[in-house]
Structure 1
Amino acid sequence: MLGWRSPSGQAPETLTGDHLLFYKRACCQSNHAHLKYSMAKIISIILTCLLVQNTELLQADLSNEGNWPAFRGNGNSTTSLAELPLSWSDTEGIAWKVNLTGYGQSSPVIWGETVYVTSTGGDGKEKLFIEAYDLSSGEKQWVQEFEASRTPKEVNDYISRGAPTPVVDEAGVYAFFESGDLVALDSSGGVRWQRSLTEEYGDFVGNHGVGSSLINTPNSIVLLVDHDGPSYLINIDKASGKNRWKIKRKARVSWSTPLYLTHNSLEQIVVSSNGEAAAFKLEDGEKLWWVEGIEKNTVNAPTTNGDIVIIGSSEPTQTMAISLGGSGDISESHVKWRAGQGVTSSFGSPLIHDDTVFFVNRAGALQAASVEDGSVLWERRLPGSTWASPLATADRLYFFCKEGPTAVHSLDVNKTSEELAINPLTVAEGDRLYGFAVAPGRIVIRLAEQLIAVGE
């Protein structure tokens, strides 16, 4: 393990709170993503922030304007980007394809003109890799290799292999591995700080490894570590790598990634984990509300439209919508609806688009339900089951099937869908399509040992 090193070049704190966040991100987009914002545009963004009163989804402000900074982008797997590719195959519509240094199940992340991705190597996953690639050409910019501080369980399809997705911002990239290693690099690959959470808090115990990804907040990263041993939710300062707070949790197994949102000006982390959904105050970790008695909510990430949070489950009648704004035990008062017997959500997380929420079950059946009451509006069959979460644009849905095909659907005013394309990609035996990231005109798809950028 390398020693601690403090990052340099901290941005001046000339504004405070949400105003500072929006200003920094606007400026960062201008400087690093080559998006030519004028000062009028920056001021417009700040004024828009000031007008938001009740529900603010802070991660959605500029992350959809060219960056894809974390798992599911803004946390909801939606983008405002237009002109994303519609059709591709092994021989058409491919901008570039690269072989990765190791094997991984994480999604790529994008900041400006750089794609970042993590992977592991070695029989015991003792090698950890963080790589950076040029978004336009696929040229490798750098790779950082680390020795794992712990050797996790054996390798197979159902034990995590580089599963947690990293976070990226203007300062660099933050990566977490199932060995417990947590590292922050600058945009050139230099080490800013690193830690081993297993050395500090004990080994992870469970049959399937660790899958929860880092959560991106303005000044910190949040991580859920739920397993058969001492579990916790931890908030870590981006600049120093030190804990802001750490909440002890009872032993329970979960691979779900939490959700960062702001409701009524209160920043909170929503956690869906074996038996419970709950929200914690970002500032100090105070538990704000909870719903108990949920079954098999161990994989899906929560998703929100700003008024409700959808909790997905692979067990019938356990998928639910929870109204935001409650406090304490809201199991009776704020559960807006529970899905019917036939609605389940498997590996891919639920997706909200306008007033419709989409679920994909283990067999690859797509179900559209009303956000208002959970009633099923229509059903479709996808080309296969999915491990990656789906993607919503303004007028399209993308479903990334684990064996390689991507189904693209349109949405019309009648809230039904039309299949526009099925885009095949050849996936090697034993491989999977694990995740994706989006940028203007591009979708970067993650296979176990490859990145494939589609879009001319």
Structure 2
Amino acid sequence: MNLRIALLLACFTTPLLADNWPGWRGPSGDGICPDKKAPLSWTLEKDLKWKTEIPGIGHASPIIWNDAIFLVSADEESGERLLLKLDRKTGKSLWQQTVLKSPIEKIHRKNSRASSTPATDGKLVYVSFLDKEDMFVAAYDFNGKKVWEVRPGIFSSRHGYCSSPIFWKDKVIVNGDHDGDAYLVGLDKKTGKTIWKTPRPNKTRSYCTAIIRTIEGRNQLVISGSKCVASYDPDTGKQHWIIDGPTEQYVASPVYDGKYIYMTCGFPTLHMMAIDPTGNGNVTDTHVVWHTRKDPSYVPSPVVT
């Protein structure tokens, strides 16, 4: 069994104890910590509080709710996909559940079989893995009991799987961009039932996690991937607007500064764009504020303040 190490530094145990980090890139999904007293530097030598061995391998981020840390991993020998709960103050493992046992899929050398960051609303923890050729999504309570599991669609990618769940009202939303009939899907948080499922264009793998913002009174789920940048209504899955390109594959999440959406990508060509999110329909020629190929990133998600 492969083992990895979970480290917790002092900067995440004392000043931020009252703050939760409930999913991919934190409470607002953009990598920004709302605490003005957040530390700007730390070292293992001075600030390490505890260190805990974790079974398996996984690239997903841990999430935090009050005194609990949740994280996922994959045991590549047994095929088990794991959900673990640790005590935030001590690092002690409180429970470990096998969420899924499935054959190990082929992946890119920089991917893992547990790359989707879980999410929690303070009541349930939501996880997402690949089960053979199906997207797998499940919900567990804080005691480690499974509440539901579903397979809302197929997923095929030679680079493996990564699709971190996000929330909107009573829904958990998952990105199904893959090399086939791609889709976005909104599931009922309590039951896993599909509320809406929207086809995505171009049928091309991407690994972006969307952001959701209310812009000029309109709720928008904005996502890069599948050879486009697009906005959808998170209540219904209906598309607001779309920009063609500017490349084929995407990994980084977009960000919003109160005026523009910013995105960076990708493969096979690198781009960075600012987008006016107030349009409708195909806005490729009308709502790109600026577009540059100087110094963009492919995988790392940006921060804007």
TM-score by length of 1: 0.59
Q: Which has the higher contact order (CA 8 A, sep 6+)?
A: 1
Q: Please state if 1:270 is matched with 2:225.
A: no
Do the aligned partners of 1:194 and 1:241 also contact (CA within 8 Å) in 2? yes
Q: Please state if 1:99 is matched with 2:53.
A: yes
* Distance (whole Å) between structure 1 residues aligned to residue 40 and residue 222 of structure 2: 33
Q: 1:211 aligns with which of 129, 138, 162?
A: 162
More strand by share: 2
* Distance (whole Å) between structure 2 residues aligned to residue 319 and residue 295 of structure 1: 11
- Residue matched to 1:185: 140
* TM-superposed deviation, 1:92: 2.4
Radius of gyration: which is bigger?
1
- Residue matched to 2:122: 170
Do the aligned partners of 1:317 and 1:338 also contact (CA within 8 Å) in 2? no
Do the aligned partners of 1:104 and 1:163 also contact (CA within 8 Å) in 2? yes
Quickly say closer, same or farther: Cα 1:155–1:275, change in 2 above 3 A: closer
- Give the match's secondary structure for 1:319: strand
* Distance (whole Å) between structure 2 residues aligned to residue 86 and residue 342 of structure 1: 28
* Distance (whole Å) between structure 2 residues aligned to residue 82 and residue 95 of structure 1: 22
**After the TM superposition, which residues 115-130 of structure 1 pair with which residues of structure 2 at under 5 Å, given as runs?**
115-123=69-77, 126-130=79-83
Q: Please state if 1:70 is matched with 2:23.
A: yes
* Distance (whole Å) between structure 1 residues aligned to residue 142 and residue 105 of structure 2: 31
* Distance (whole Å) between structure 2 residues aligned to residue 118 and residue 93 of structure 1: 24
* Distance (whole Å) between structure 2 residues aligned to residue 331 and residue 190 of structure 1: 46
More helix by share: 1
Do the aligned partners of 1:163 and 1:178 also contact (CA within 8 Å) in 2? no
- Give the match's secondary structure for 1:351: coil
Q: 2:236 aligns with which of 284, 288, 291?
A: 284
- Residue matched to 2:260: 308
User: Aligned Cα RMSD in Å?
Assistant: 2.1
| 1:74-129 superposed Cα distances (whole Å, 9 cap, x missing partner) | 21100121433444444321011111122111001111111110111133x72011
* Distance (whole Å) between structure 1 residues aligned to residue 219 and residue 245 of structure 2: 25
Do the aligned partners of 2:57 and 2:76 also contact (CA within 8 Å) in 1? no
Q: 1:336 aligns with which of 289, 298, 305?
A: 289
* Distance (whole Å) between structure 2 residues aligned to residue 71 and residue 81 of structure 1: 17
| 1:293-336 superposed Cα distances (whole Å, 9 cap, x missing partner) | 31145111111112211111136672101012111111122111
| 1:148-170 superposed Cα distances (whole Å, 9 cap, x missing partner) | 3x424236633432001111112
- Residue matched to 1:232: 183
Paired letter, 2:60: S
* Distance (whole Å) between structure 2 residues aligned to residue 143 and residue 99 of structure 1: 13
Percent identity over the alignment?
27
* Distance (whole Å) between structure 2 residues aligned to residue 101 and residue 281 of structure 1: 39
* Distance (whole Å) between structure 2 residues aligned to residue 106 and residue 267 of structure 1: 27
- Residue matched to 2:93: 140
Do the aligned partners of 2:162 and 2:207 also contact (CA within 8 Å) in 1? yes
Do the aligned partners of 2:105 and 2:113 also contact (CA within 8 Å) in 1? no
TM-score by length of 2: 0.86
Do the aligned partners of 1:159 and 1:207 also contact (CA within 8 Å) in 2? no
Structure 1 gaps of 5+ residues are 1-62, 354-456
**After the TM superposition, which residues 37-52 of structure 1 pair with which residues of structure 2 at under 5 Å, given as runs?**
none
* TM-superposed deviation, 1:181: 2.2
* Distance (whole Å) between structure 2 residues aligned to residue 156 and residue 279 of structure 1: 28
Quickly say closer, same or farther: Cα 1:261–1:159, change in 2 above 3 A: same
Q: Please state if 1:349 is matched with 2:304.
A: no
- Residue matched to 1:388: none
Count of residue pairs the alignment pairs up = 284
